[in-house]
Amino acid sequence: MGKSETEFSPGRRDTMKMLALGSGAGLLGLFGSTDTIAQKPEIPTGYKTGMPTVKIKSVKAIATAPEGSNLIVVKVETTEPGLYGLGCATFTQRAAAVVTAINSYLNDFCVGKDVDNIEDMWQSCYVSSYWRNGPVLNNALSGLDEALWDIKGKRANMPLYQLLGGKSRFAVDCYAHAGGNTPEAIAEDVQKYMAQGFRHVRIQQGGYGATSTVTQKPDFKAGGFGYEDDNYMNEHAYLKSVPKMFDTVRKVCGDDVELLHDVHERVQPMDVINMIKAVEDYHPYFIEDPFSPENMEWFKQLRMSTTVPIAMGELFNNINEFKMPMVNQWFDYIRVHVSQVGGITPAMKIARLGEWFNIKTAFHGPGDVSPVGHAAQAHIDLAVWNFGIQERAVFSDKLQSVFPGCPTMNNGYMFVNEAPGIGVDINETEAAKYPITTKSNWQVRKNDGTIIRP
Ligand code: MG
């Protein structure tokens, strides 16, 4: 073995030694002038080495429902005047429980701790309750994590995507939601979104599981079972309707637009496998949630039966739930609900794991994610190499009045603003005008009244 090139480099080691010792003669020899060495390196305006530690002063939940969906935002205030961070902790269906988790437990856990060590905060908070991986506490943790990233971005004077590695693309390509009660109405809706510039459109007939197109009264209601506002799903009618919907939309809208569909886990595994095979010729961009998360083993059969791309994961709480499906390449798109999985820190790990298996991201972006959460995941979308597509968000005037700095949409792309951190603020006075509720009805039943996983 010969010596490396570095070890033979003339004078390198001596140069370093001279710099370390501050040898006047040596430095003069190198630079020729004492003026040059007197110049100090320019210190950037944001974070500076040796800055005093910034600590968490308080953590609180801000609950608001400008568009009807309960939204929860975590606000982390710090010992530095005016410096705070915001994160999304939304769990619409159990919002009041998340508020309690934040105000009663997270605040106590966080006060006095350093804002800078996000990974350490995440790991210690994750196990601080001993029992972990459930919703509610995960939502609270997500809000804290995003708020700490927001603070770090503000301290660095950089938008979040810069801290995650910078941009891999100029903007975030999104898919829109087209719906209607007939295939023709859906095709018209798809054309509307295509005219707005969307290249990807999700198609749903009669809502999830076609529940709103069912006209007959289910037997369970006649039999006095269940409750007045329970939804009825006719599984057979739904399964038959999907290939017809794809056929009509392809005929009307052509082959260029990418079409997506969400099964929402509502039917029997073999039935959905057969349905997916029946839509192969319409080349869907992906079919989402073919099974419930309790039925993951069915992916083996699905992958042997069809090559239609699959998206899955929005219901996963525990980041470890992503591991085996990704190692086994059971799905092609990772649906992460960032405010459920624990925030930006674990979402980045999941996205990076996907890179090793060429599995792309398709993060969950429904109306029950706050604009802070939408912006946070858009920063991730910009940064990771294996971004696939983003579910579009709609930022109404009401939402913008509560959340100044919402991302913007143009030509089917989402753009974050360039403000430091996540870039979305909250107007607490406006937020207070829209109180949250505890009402939640997500019941769907079969004809005989059996509960369907939603
Ligand atoms: Mg879904």
Q: pLDDT for 26-35, tens place per residue? A: 344 444 444 4
Q: Nearest 10 degrees: CA dihedral of 305, 309, 311, 312?
A: 20
| Pairing outcome for strands 286-288 and 408-410 | unpaired
Residue 407 has pLDDT above 60, yes or no: yes
- Which residues, other chains included, contact 452 with Cβ-Cβ below 8 Å and sequence gap of 6+? 209, 233, 235, 266, 444, 445, 446
Torsion sign, CA atoms 198, 200, 205, 211: negative
pTM of the predicted model, to two decimals? Answer: 0.89
pLDDT of residue 40: 59
- CA of 423 from ligand 1 middle (Å) equals 26
Q: Nearest 10 degrees: CA dihedral of 396, 398, 399, 401?
A: 120
- CA of 210 from ligand 1 middle (Å) equals 14
Which residues place a Cβ less than 5 A from the ion ligand 1?
Answer: 262
Q: What are the residues facing 200 on neighbouring strands? A: 175, 258
- CA 217/CA 177 separation, integer angstroms: 28
Considering 261, 264, 337, 374, which one is annotated as catalytic? 264
Q: What are the residues facing 174 on neighbouring strands? A: 390
- CA 108/CA 173 separation, integer angstroms: 40
pLDDT of residue 441: 75
- Which residues, other chains included, contact 133 with Cβ-Cβ below 8 Å and sequence gap of 6+? 317, 318
Residue 121 has pLDDT above 50, yes or no: yes
Backbone angles phi, psi at 50, to 5 degrees: 90, 0
The domain 56-159: what is its CATH number? Answer: 3.30.390.10
pLDDT tens digit sequence for 54-77? 999 999 999 999 999 999 999 999
Q: What are the residues facing 287 on neighbouring strands? A: 261, 310
pLDDT of residue 51: 72
**What mean pLDDT is predicted for residues 289-305?**
96
- CA of 293 from ligand 1 middle (Å) equals 12
Considering 175, 208, 282, 413, which one is annotated as catalytic? 208
Closest by alpha carbon to 381, among 412, 339, 347, 410? 347
- CA 439/CA 453 separation, integer angstroms: 19
For the chain, where do the domains classified as CATH 3.20.20.120 start and end?
A: 162-420
CB 423 within 8 A of CB 206: no
- CA 209/CA 297 separation, integer angstroms: 22
CB 434 within 8 A of CB 402: yes
- Which residues, other chains included, contact 205 with Cβ-Cβ below 8 Å and sequence gap of 6+? 179, 180, 181, 182, 183, 186, 213, 241, 242, 245
**What mean pLDDT is predicted for residues 12-32?**
41
- CA of 49 from ligand 1 middle (Å) equals 44
- CA of 314 from ligand 1 middle (Å) equals 7
Does residue 208 have an active-site annotation? yes
- CA 363/CA 361 separation, integer angstroms: 6
Buried b (16+ CB within 10 A) or exposed e, 193-202: bbeeebbbbb
DSSP for 271-293, written as a single string: HHHHHHHHTGGG--SEEE--S-G
Burial class (CB in 10 A: 0-12, 13-18, 19+), 103: middle
**Fold for the domain defined by 162-420:** TIM Barrel (3.20.20)
pLDDT of residue 15: 40
Residue 415 has pLDDT above 90, yes or no: yes
- CA 139/CA 234 separation, integer angstroms: 33
- CA of 410 from ligand 1 middle (Å) equals 23
Tracing tokens 């979104």 back to the chain, one arrives at 193
For the chain, where do the domains classified as CATH 3.30.390.10 start and end?
A: 56-159
- CA 233/CA 398 separation, integer angstroms: 33
Tracing tokens 């999985």 back to the chain, one arrives at 341
Q: Nearest 10 degrees: CA dihedral of 236, 242, 247, 250?
A: 170
Lowest-confidence segment of 33-42, 210-219, 351-360, 385-394 by average pLDDT: 33-42
Length of the chain: 454
pLDDT tens digit sequence for 233-274? 999 999 999 999 999 999 999 999 999 999 999 999 999 999
Label residue 19 by pLDDT band (50, 70, 90): very low
Largest CA distance in the chain: 99
- Which residues, other chains included, contact 209 with Cβ-Cβ below 8 Å and sequence gap of 6+? 233, 235, 238, 264, 266, 267, 444, 452
pLDDT of residue 366: 94
CB 431 within 8 A of CB 159: no
- CA of 262 from ligand 1 middle (Å) equals 6
